[in-house]
Amino acid sequence: MSRDQALSKIDEYFKNGDFEAELARRIAFKTESNLAGCEAALQAYLDDELVPCLADLGFTCEIFPNPRADAGPFLVARRIEGDELPTVMTYGHGDVVAGYDAQWDNEMSPWHITKNGERWYGRGTADNKGQHTINIAALKTVLETRGKLGFNVTVLIEMGEERGSPGLKDFCAANKDLFKADVFIASDGPRIHPEKPTIFMGSRGVFNFTMRLESHAGGHHSGNWGGLLTNPGVVMAHALASMIDRNGKILVEGWRNTHIPNSVRTAIAKLEVGGGENAPEINPLWGEPDMTLAERVFASNTFEVRAFETGNPQSPANAIPPKAVVFGHLRYVVGTEVSQLMPLLRTHLDKHGFGDISITSERDPRYATRLDPDHPWAKWAIESLGQTAGEEISVVPNLGGSLPNDVFADLLGLPTIWVPHSYAGCSQHAPNEHILESISQSALRLMTGLWWDLGAGKTPKKTT
């Protein structure tokens, strides 16, 4: 049996309506993990839907309670064919954001699939039920075509991703043995362009912090005290001006990351930034001056002022405000020493005469990760996907945005490869969430080819 036969079989799965039927069944579970009373639906999605499906494919399924008592369970399903074979860990989430039932166009229900041209509407079609349905269907197709997979699989499904994945890290840390694998391959998020098969292999991290300056207790009449008292808003503005120039270049010593590995630079050179529906106009002069636009988003650290307040903007008084506060924000790439960000800022502020400004950090769970595009597993996946697509795919070393990929990349130590099956205009998290028929068909083929190749014996050397 051949790769082409597996691809024809998955085409048939789409054309005969099985994909739609399977996805429709899954969309019907109201797994809104942010709403009170969702527990039964979260459990039922695993018990009644995924466990029977995976058990049919010869998986051993086990449902684990979340270490966080208030959060949804985890499903771990494994199919082991042989110790000498490669093992893949894959992941998906069965929970969705709230349905916002009354807000969909044309009175569509979020809990059914409504087709309109290229678009299939329904809550979870894109995020993430459609994506893991595609990956599991592709596994099934390879299994049926070849009679075996030719590799081992561990599936992890969580039911709290839309709440920020409570308990995921602790669960994985406590069960590292369950997740020993050679590679991590999963699907979530958008392609770089609807027609462009894409992989991404990590994301930038997030670092938030607050700067405060309290100059005196209470506001003071500017006629009596102006010229005599420090204005904390003015001092804070100067502090900010010392941290970033008027074109967005970071000035804090040690905060920039200007080293881009050649493999990353080459991959990024092929990516376009911006574009898409209602996209704002890019300022080509903003940001890291010696980088291309794509390098600024994917390979540099960027500093933003999220909010800045002094006095009372809702009701400005003729007074000297008592304090000023800035909510600062960094997106950072691999190679940045996160533990040094606050000490470096402290040193910078002291050196520039802003010793009175206090700073506090707010640890965000999303750390920077990136698999090198030249990593053997990355090259392997790029080649397989390119072969199925019949064209070069887009390789994003890390997303500009952030996701909790460090659980898989750092904690479990796996090379992480994400193959997204959605697109930026999919209205994920909003009413009218949908997938595109063309992407779904292409994604089913790409994943079938990928799983096929994983079991075909030409994978990078086993590491575990």
CB of 89 to Zn ion, least distance (A): 20
* Side-by-side strand order, sheet with 198-200: 60-64, 74-79, 152-158, 87-93, 183-186, 416-418, 198-200, 394-396
Size of residue set near Zn ion by CB under 5 A: 1
Q: CB of 417 within 8 A of CB of 393?
A: no
Residue closest to Zn ion (Cβ): 127
CB of 99 to Zn ion, least distance (A): 13
CB of 127 to Zn ion, least distance (A): 4
Q: Which is nearer to Zn ion, 55 or 430 (CB)?
A: 430
- DSSP-assigned states of every residue in 327-347: EEEEEE-TT--GGGHHHHHHH
The Cα–Cα gap between 434 and 13 comes to: 20
CB of 368 to Zn ion, least distance (A): 20
The Cα–Cα gap between 342 and 358 comes to: 11
CB of 162 to Zn ion, least distance (A): 5
Q: Is 95 in the site for Zn ion (CB under 5 A)?
A: no
Q: Which is nearer to Zn ion, 27 or 268 (CB)?
A: 27
Q: CB of 373 within 8 A of CB of 381?
A: no
Stretch that binds Zn ion, among 38-46, 83-91, 124-132, 194-202 (CB under 5 A): 124-132
Q: CB of 204 within 8 A of CB of 406?
A: no
> Beta strand 323-332 with 205-214: parallel, antiparallel or unpaired?
antiparallel
Helices 3-15 and 129-146 cross at an angle (nearest 10°) of 130
Q: Which is nearer to Zn ion, 127 or 295 (CB)?
A: 127
Q: Which is nearer to Zn ion, 34 or 438 (CB)?
A: 34
Stretch that binds Zn ion, among 115-123, 125-133, 369-377, 406-414 (CB under 5 A): 125-133
Stretch that binds Zn ion, among 119-127, 230-238, 278-286, 446-454 (CB under 5 A): 119-127
Nearest to 300 by CA among 283, 285, 288: 288
The Cα–Cα gap between 102 and 118 comes to: 23
Q: Which is nearer to Zn ion, 146 or 163 (CB)?
A: 163
Q: CB of 206 within 8 A of CB of 403?
A: no
Choice from 32, 127, 158, 453 touching Zn ion (CB under 5 A): 127
CB of 428 to Zn ion, least distance (A): 6
The amino acid at residue 130 is G
Stretch that binds Zn ion, among 76-84, 120-128, 207-215, 387-395 (CB under 5 A): 120-128
To which residue do tokens 């990355």 refer?
378
Q: Which is nearer to Zn ion, 97 or 325 (CB)?
A: 97
CB of 429 to Zn ion, least distance (A): 6
Binding residues (CB under 5 A) for Zn ion: these are 127
